[in-house]
Chain A
Amino acid sequence: MIALEHLSLSIHGTPILDDVSFDMAPGKVFGLVGESGSGKSMTALAIMGLLPRGAETSGRVMLDGGDLSKLRDRDLCAIRGNRIGMIFQEPMTALNPVKTIGEQVAETLLIHTRTSRAEAMKIAAEKLARVGLPQDKFPLGRYPHELSGGQRQRVCIAMAIALHPELLIADEPTTALDVTTQAQILDLLRDLVAEEGMSLLLITHDLAVVSGIADHVAVMQTGKIVEQGETEQLFRHMTHPYTRQLFEASGHQPDRAAPPNNAPMLTVEGAVRDYALPRRALFGPAPTFRAVNGVSFTMNSGESVGLVGESGCGKSTLTRAILGLEPLQGGNIRLFGKDMTPATARDLRARIQVVFQDPYGSFNPRWRVEKLVAEPLHLLPSRPEDWRNRVALSLEEVGLPPDAMQRYPHEFSGGQRQRIAIARALILRPDLIILDEAVSALDVSIRAQILDLLAELQNRLGLAYLFISHDLSVVRTITDRVLVMRAGEIVEQGATEVVFAAPQHDYTRNLIAATPTIPDAWREDIHA
Chain B
Amino acid sequence: MKLPVQLILGAALTVLFIAAVLLSFLWTPHDVILLSISEKLQGPSAKYWLGTDHFGRDLLSMLMVGARTSIAVAIVAVGIGVIIGVPLGLTAAANRGGWLDELIMRGNDLIFAFPSLVIAILITAVFGPSATNAILAIGIFNIPVFARVSRGGALSIWTLDYILAARVAGKSATRISAEHILPNIANLLIVQGTIQFSLGILAEAGLSYVGLGAQPPTPSWGRMLADAQTMIYTTPRLAMLPGLAIIAMVLGLNLMGDGLRDLLDPRIRRAKA
* Cβ-defined contact, A364 with B169, below 8 A: no
A361 partner, pick from B160, B169, B265, beta carbons under 8 A: B160
Q: Is B267 an interface residue (CB 8 A)?
A: yes
Which residues in B have their C-beta under 8 angstroms from that of A375?
165-166, 169, 171
Interface string of B59-91 (1 = CB under 8 A from A): 000000000000000000000000000000000
Residues of B within 8 A of A364 (CB): 162, 179-180, 183-184
Minimum CB distance partner of A374 in chain B: B169
Q: How far is the CA of A11 from the CA of B165 in the complex (A)?
A: 38
Which residues from A are CB-within-8-Å of B183?
364, 366
Q: Which residue of B lies closest to A376 (CB)?
A: B169
B47 contacts partner chain A, Cβ-Cβ < 8 Å: no
Query: Are the C-beta atoms of A362 and B265 separated by less than 8 Å?
Result: no
The reply to whether A361 and B171 contact each other, CB–CB distance below 8 Å, is no
**A352 to B265, alpha carbons, bound, how many Å?**
32
A372 and B168 alpha carbons, distance in the complex (Å): 13
Q: Report the Cα distance A375→B180, complex, angstroms.
A: 11
Quick check: A410 and B267 within 8 Å, CB to CB? yes
Dominant SS among interface residues on chain B: helix
For A357, the chain B residues whose CB sits under 8 A away are: 161
Q: How far is the CB of A391 from the nearest CB of chain B, in Å?
A: 14
B2 at the interface (CB under 8 A from A): no
From residue A437, how far is it (CB to closest CB) to chain B in Å? 11
Q: A349-B170, A364-B183, A365-B184 are in contact. Are A408 and B267 (CB under 8 A)?
A: yes
Chain B 144-170, CB-CB to A under 8 Å as 1, else 0, gives 000000000000000011101111111
Question: Which residue in chain A gives the minimum CB-CB distance to B166?
Answer: A375
Q: Are the C-beta atoms of B270 and A408 separated by less than 8 Å?
A: yes
Collect the chain A residues with CB atoms within 8 Å of residue B265's CB.
365-366
User: Would you give the shortest CB distance from A229 to chain B, in whole angstroms?
Assistant: 41
Chain B residues with CB under 8 A of A325: 164, 167-168
> How far is A364 from B270 in the complex, measured between Cα atoms in Å?
16
* Chain B CB within 10 A, most for which of A323, A352, A362, A366: A366
B residues near A323, Cβ cutoff 8 Å: 167-168
| Chain A interface size, under 10 / 10 to 19 / 20 to 34 / 35 or more | 20 to 34
Contact present for A362 and B162 (CB under 8 Å):
yes
Is B266 interfacial (CB-CB < 8 Å)?
Answer: yes
What 0/1 pattern do residues 171 to 194 of B give for CB contact below 8 A with A?
100000001100110000000000
A354 to B168, CA, bound (A): 8
Question: Closest approach, in angstroms, between the C-beta of B155 and any C-beta of chain A?
Answer: 15
A379 at the interface (CB under 8 A from B): yes
Is the pair A366, B184 in contact by a Cβ cutoff of 8 Å? yes
Using CB atoms, name the residue of chain A closest to B271: A410
Partner of A378, one of B170, B264, B267: B170
Question: Is A363 engaged at the interface, CB distance under 8 Å to the other chain?
Answer: yes
- Of residues B169, B180, B266, B270, which shows the largest number of chain A Cβ atoms within 10 Å of its Cβ? B169
Produce 1/0 per residue, A304-348, CB < 8 A to B: 000000000000000010010100000000000000000000100
CB atoms of A365 and B266 under 8 A apart: yes
Q: Which of B228-273 touch A at CB < 8 Å?
A: 264-267, 270
Of the candidates A379, A410, A424, the one whose C-beta lies within 8 Å of that of B170 is: A379
- The yes or no answer to A358 lying at the interface (CB within 8 A) is yes
Given A366-B183, A366-B266, A411-B270, check contact A378 B171 (CB 8 Å): yes
- Tell me, in angstroms, the Cα distance from A362 to B180 when the chains sit together: 12
A522 at the interface (CB under 8 A from B): no
Question: Which residue from chain B places its CB closest to the CB of A358 in the assembled complex?
Answer: B161
Does the CB pair B168–A353 fall under 8 Å?
A: yes
Q: Which residues of B contact A320 (CB under 8 A)?
A: 164
Residues of A within 8 A of B167 (CB): 323, 325
CB distance from B183 to the nearest CB of A (A): 5
Q: Which of B161, B180, B267, B270 neighbours the largest number of chain A CB atoms within 10 Å of its CB?
A: B161
Cα distance A386–B29 in the bound complex, in angstroms:
61
* A507 adjacent to chain B (CB < 8 Å): no
Q: Across the interface, name the chain B residue whose C-beta is closest to A350.
A: B170
Residues from chain A with Cβ under 8 Å of B166 in the complex: 375
Is A363 a contact of B162 with CB atoms below 8 Å?
yes
Question: A404 vs B98: C-alpha distance in the bound complex, in angstroms?
Answer: 40
The answer to whether the Cβ of A22 comes within 8 Å of any Cβ in the partner chain is no
A376–B264 Cα distance when bound, in Å, is 25
A349-B168 contact given A361-B160, A366-B183, CB 8 Å threshold: yes
Q: B168 touching A410 by the CB < 8 A rule? A: no
Chain B's closest residue to A434 (CB) is: B168
The reply to whether A356 and B266 contact each other, CB–CB distance below 8 Å, is no
Smallest Cβ-Cβ distance to A354: which chain B residue: B168
| Cα distance A325–B160 in the bound complex, in angstroms | 15
Is the beta-carbon distance between B161 and A362 smaller than 8 angstroms?
Answer: yes
Contact, CB under 8 Å: B164 / A356: yes
Does the CB pair A356–B161 fall under 8 Å? Answer: yes
Of the A-B pairs whose beta carbons lie under 8 Å apart in the complex, a sample of 12, sorted by A's number, is A325-B164, A346-B170, A353-B168, A354-B168, A358-B161, A364-B162, A364-B179, A365-B267, A366-B264, A377-B169, A378-B171, A410-B270
Q: Which 4 A-B pairs have the closest CB atoms?
A: A356-B161, A376-B169, A408-B266, A362-B161
B interface, CB within 8 angstroms of A? 160-162, 164-171, 179-180, 183-184, 264-267, 270
Given contacts A375-B166, A378-B169, 17 further A-B contacts (CB under 8 A): A320-B164, A356-B161, A356-B164, A361-B162, A362-B161, A362-B162, A362-B165, A363-B162, A364-B180, A365-B265, A365-B266, A366-B184, A366-B265, A366-B266, A372-B162, A375-B169, A424-B165
